[in-house]
A and B are shown apart, each in its own frame.
Chain A
Amino acid sequence: MSSPQLEVLLQTLISGLLLGGLYALIGIGMTLIMGVMKIINLAHGELMMVAMYIAYGLFTLFHLDPYLAVFIAAPALFILGVLLQKFLINPVLKVDSILPENQVILTVGIGMVLANLATVFFTSDYRSTPVDYATKAWYLSDFWKSSPIELSLSYAWSMSFLIAVAITIALWFFLARTDTGKSIRATAQDNDAALLMGVNVGKMRVITFGLGSALVGAAGCLFIPIYYLYPDLGGQFTLIAFVITILGGLGSTVGAIIGGLILGVFESLTATYVGMGWAPVGRFVIFVAALIFIPGGVVSLLRRQKWGK
């Protein structure tokens, strides 16, 4: 492999991993909600959009860096998630209806309402937070003068990636070590057993929905410095989160992380070696392939190897 080709390959892998890390964070939120509530939250991308508008507002009004906005947007989204769960989704859970999954349909409705509210309040103009470091990057040739190839690593992308990793680790810690975390996992594993063991399942559902929203809210803040914002942006990311959830294995956090990384790298490789117009096709090829060949997701493979828990 000649050096320009190697350069293309390495640069593609770098972009893929960075993108994958962010995808994973979006996916984890959806998979958590999926695990505990057994529903797909199709308003996921719209919740992300709401968080991005919060970050955008803070940036334009107070010049607050979008990365710091995580600390405001994520709690705000937690509260929004809790409210949605308490006052909209829970009542619907109790109602008998022809469709067993009418909560899913409700989330679609919530998503539409959020997108249209954003259009009303912010118009459909494109927004962005032009931060100073948006196009700065580290270059391999700056560190290694005689390097035969040139690679670059963007400040903003790496920053977003690292924060995503930090949030993921914190989440893992929360789920593995804290009482509430353990209760959430118990609810996800077996609703009835958890109830019998004295877990307040109803409360756990509310917390989980809030947590899932907060995670995607954080992802929104990490996306806005490298991307842009408009009211209809949600659908695209709901779709990505959905693919990751299926790919990773429904309800599995580890699966969502691996699923996100696989999707990011796969999309980048498709873009480089097949054509960027094919990236969405690649996404659905993976989706269908996952459903056919590994219906339990990546995490089922891990379980078979006795790696995953």
Chain B
Amino acid sequence: MRRFTFCLAVIFLVSLFSSTLFAADTFNLVIPLPLTGKQAKFGEMQKRSYEMAVEEINAKGGVKKKKIVLSFEDSGAKPETARAIVEKLIDVKKQPIIVGEYTSACAKAVAAVAEERKTPYLVVASADDNITQQNYKYVFRQNAVNAHYSDGVLDFLKKVVKPQTIAILYESSAFGTSGADAMVKDAGKLGMKILLKEKYEAGSVDFKPILSKVKAAQPDVIYMVSYVMDASLLMKQIKELRIDAKLFAGGAAGFAIPEFIDNAKDAADYVISATLWTPQVKFAGAKEYAEKYKAKYKDYPSYHGASAYSAMYVLKDTLERAKDWTQDRIRDSLKATDMKTAFGPIRFEDKEGYQNQNFMDTLVLQVQKGEFETIWPQQYASKKYIYPIPKWRERK
């Protein structure tokens, strides 16, 4: 019996030593992500992007000669699961920094845990405004906030289209409602009159009743906040009714993904949409990342992937500058970040009521000849914008 205990003790000690030994030349990072459920598609894209970045970093010698070892935990886009994962990471695995999550609801839950345990948390792609509005010291966000999402579109409206009136259609979800409310505020600033603001149930079959009302109101701009398939149904039925607004604008999401063009086909032409990043932007590394991703997975990534990819470089930069890898040192080092990534320049600022928030230019896409082209701001443009757009009757 004594021998047995002795053996156990030896095994225990050895395993303890070996784990500390391994820890010496690797940095273990566990990322919580939605890999199942409705948001799995975005989680998958981010997972691939994180892996691509870490592979590159490790190939160049890692961080302070330590290799980063990545692993993922599936939160299924459920805040309570995300919370549990992160509690375990901080309390048990003593991971000094948290990166990841996708939905705003999960990011909020994780942010609360991270702040409570004084562990820095880098938000990668969650847009809800108040994640970085709660005076959290340890929560950083590198993607733009929802309120600034349509900045690019607004700038385009102000400088090129100069509309007098607008009609807003949005889906009755948190995302749709906040997007529409932001547009109402911004329309006031631009002096646009809101002729219509109508919500609809996501998954509706027939938008023609509401669209014929829009048609009768004759707005200059029709702004729509919709998820994937509603976006293409809306444009298809707008074409069918020949509603000739000066401009059709989408609030990212359903309007900025390839499925939109695939489904709406020619009805998608000339539609503009807000987005945070495109494979065409001229940030160093953006194109290489996009092409590498496409070569590997046969499709261009969206901003979700680009942000995840760049987050690993932000992490590397932060860890290299940190004096030691305790939570507070990493936090201070993250705060001092000022670097250029494939996702754009990243600096965490406190302004406009946000803390540790990266402010970035948001871009405008336009569908031209069945392809997404970046058209605004002009310094990022891949093609010149097409405006005024032809009337439906004159299109082939």
Contact = CB atoms under 8 A, between A and B. Distances in A.
A and B interact physically: yes
Interface string B258-292: 01001101110000000000000000000000000
A276 B198 contact: yes
B236 A11 contact: no
Interface in B186-203: 198-201, 203
Interface in B212-239: 212-213, 215-216, 228-229, 232-233, 236-237, 239
B259 A126 contact: yes
Contact of B213 (A8, A139, A277, A279): A8
Contacts of B228: 126
Interface string A9-30: 0011011101100000000000
A228 B229 contact: yes
A7 B266 contact: no
A150 B208 CA distance: 14
Given A8-B216, A276-B199, A135 B266 contact: yes
Contact of B242 (A126, A150, A268, A276): A150
A233 B267 CA distance: 24
Interface string A122-152: 0011101010001111010000000000101
B198 A135 contact: no
B216 A154 contact: no
Contacts of B265: 130, 134-135
A279 B199 contact: no
B198 A7 contact: no
A287 B67 CA distance: 63
B201 A15 contact: no
A15 B233 CA distance: 14
B2 interface: no
B299 interface: no
B209 A271 contact: yes
A202 interface: no
A277 B40 CA distance: 28
B172 interface: yes
B236 A134 contact: yes
Given A8-B216, A16-B209, A272-B209, A152 B241 contact: yes
Contact of A277 (B38, B201, B236, B241): B201
Nearest to A229: B229
Interface in A197-249: 223, 226-228, 230, 233, 236
Nearest to A150: B242
Contacts of B203: 233, 236
B116 interface: no
Contact of A19 (B201, B206, B236): B206
A237 B140 CA distance: 44
Contacts of B41: 125
A185 B322 CA distance: 81
B134 interface: no
B236 A135 contact: yes
A267 B206 CA distance: 10
B239 A135 contact: yes
Nearest to A132: B265
Contacts of A233: 203
Interface residues of B, number: 36
A130 B38 contact: no
Contact of A227 (B201, B233, B259): B233
Contacts of B263: 128, 130, 228
A276 B172 CA distance: 10
Interface of B is mostly: helix
A134 B41 CA distance: 27
B204 interface: yes
B240 A276 contact: no
A5 interface: yes
Interface of A is mostly: helix
Given A11-B241, A124-B38, A128-B229, A276 B266 contact: no
Given A272-B212, A277-B199, A226 B267 contact: no
B209 A228 contact: no
A269 B209 contact: yes
Given A4-B216, A139-B242, A272 B210 contact: yes
Which residue, of A12, A15, A139, A233, has the highest number of chain B Cβ atoms within 10 A? A15
Nearest to A154: B240
Given A134-B265, A227-B233, A279-B204, A268 B209 contact: yes
Contact of A135 (B206, B215, B240, B262): B240
Contacts of B232: 128, 228
B348 interface: no
Nearest to A240: B205
Contacts of B242: 139, 150, 152
B201 A280 contact: yes
Nearest to B207: A276
Nearest to A126: B229
Contacts of A276: 198-201, 204, 207, 209-210
A148 to B, nearest CB: 13
A109 interface: no
Nearest to B40: A124
A11 B211 CA distance: 10
A272 B266 contact: no
Interface in B237-257: 237, 239-242
Contact of B240 (A19, A137, A227, A228): A137
Contacts of A150: 242
Interface in A91-126: 124-126
A227 B207 contact: no
A69 to B, nearest CB: 18
Contacts of A14: 208
A227 B265 CA distance: 14
Nearest to B214: A8
A277 B209 contact: no
Nearest to B241: A152
For the complex of A and B, list the 6 residue pairs with the smallest distance between their C-beta atoms, beginning with the closest.
A271-B209, A276-B200, A11-B212, A272-B209, A15-B208, A277-B199
Given A124-B38, A126-B259, A272-B209, 16 more contacts: A7-B212, A8-B212, A8-B213, A15-B212, A18-B206, A19-B206, A135-B265, A135-B267, A150-B242, A228-B232, A271-B200, A272-B210, A272-B213, A276-B200, A277-B198, A277-B200
